Structure 1
């Protein structure tokens, strides 16, 4: 006996009742505000950088920008307000095509259908990469239509999830110059600050939204979004991992890396990480300079893996 109740189907099987739900696409509305602001890197070598950013609260830009999360098939509306005196834009890489500028003091609504489940980068693509380097970047996450804990419908399952937005900034040659209205020499880029989720290592190694945490044999899906301008190799201690998606290309047979994955600029990788021995392990960018804040070790691209 099957009786439809809205989106619910009540299945009567003998003496057992099972309540099921059909996945229904939704309308997801987001609002972003573009402002100038500051990003503080604490600890040895730390500083306060001048940045530009998107934020969901007027006057409070954040770096990276807020992670926007939807389900596959949803209708997405993103309203972006430009509160700065120069042009900016909003582009979801490989999803949206409107790269036209938002005028100073203006706004624009971007409407599109959520693409296939996976991880995407959104950013300001204007100004020869300067806007993206200054902090105008974030992650756009698409979950399966049923919003389950799988990478995609019928894909690998996981227990925990982390999104790591990797970035780098050149304070003296780019941020300091751009923030005062100067002309940046884009042919010279020597980043001296490296972040995960906008955090230097001292903070990222204690941030519960960045650290990998769980019990033995639990699986963590790590979404790595490189919003920087350098390639970064991420080195996991404690165990190897499986690569399941590279730039939207799903690996039908996930392959195991030794312990390091290189993610080029504007690229994305999704990996499954499992620890089979309890302990505390580091995860860090496998380049000496990227492990520092203005040359001071260890306060760059690093976090912790905590398994019990």
Structure 2
């Protein structure tokens, strides 16, 4: 349904805001929607992982995997984590787009001094080491409403109420971005596609040469026996067709479609590598390129 990403300085109140959303959203959402919070704490990720990049990266990967697993058309998923790197927020945004979920970002704003004070008051083993806290404060990349992965952006100072109603509007009626083209799975051609492509085009050329010989260059519509149970009609031009001309067009056709097979760029929604489909595509190609 939606992905709500919290961002802000460490110890700026993100967990408090996540709890407020988790408590307030169910009464404002349709009954079929549920609210779920995924956080470092729920995944038992210690604040100490941010002491070193070698431990931070796998922790962030674990968070991303959990987010992907919990995304659902019937779930409002709240991500309560540092999310201080814009590249990671973009990664979350792309995952949400792939699932066709609405997105929004809640930016909890507090001064660095306030964050230092609140971090020092923590007694639940969730406090950051002083050096780690200072490092995260420096590295924090502020969300911006000007970039699509942070929009719509709700900036919430620590001493102001959460705009729950506006967030609900974004969740229920915000635009759903189509999946990024780079993340769309492309249908793969079958393993024997290249063999079928070569065999059918060769058989088609041979059938055209035979048909042209029978019509003695008169042209017209003829039926080509391509393979077992495969017969295709083609309109031949009223002139003598040479084998070299047909072979040249065959090579062009095969080259284009061989690239599609090897690179996985076959046309979406119309991938059909049966003998009849390949023969029909080739005959259509010939009809467009054979000169009268």
Does the TM-score normalized on the shorter chain lie above 0.5? no
Query: TM-score with structure 1 length normalisation?
Result: 0.22
Name the structure with the higher helix share.
2
Name the structure with the higher strand share.
1
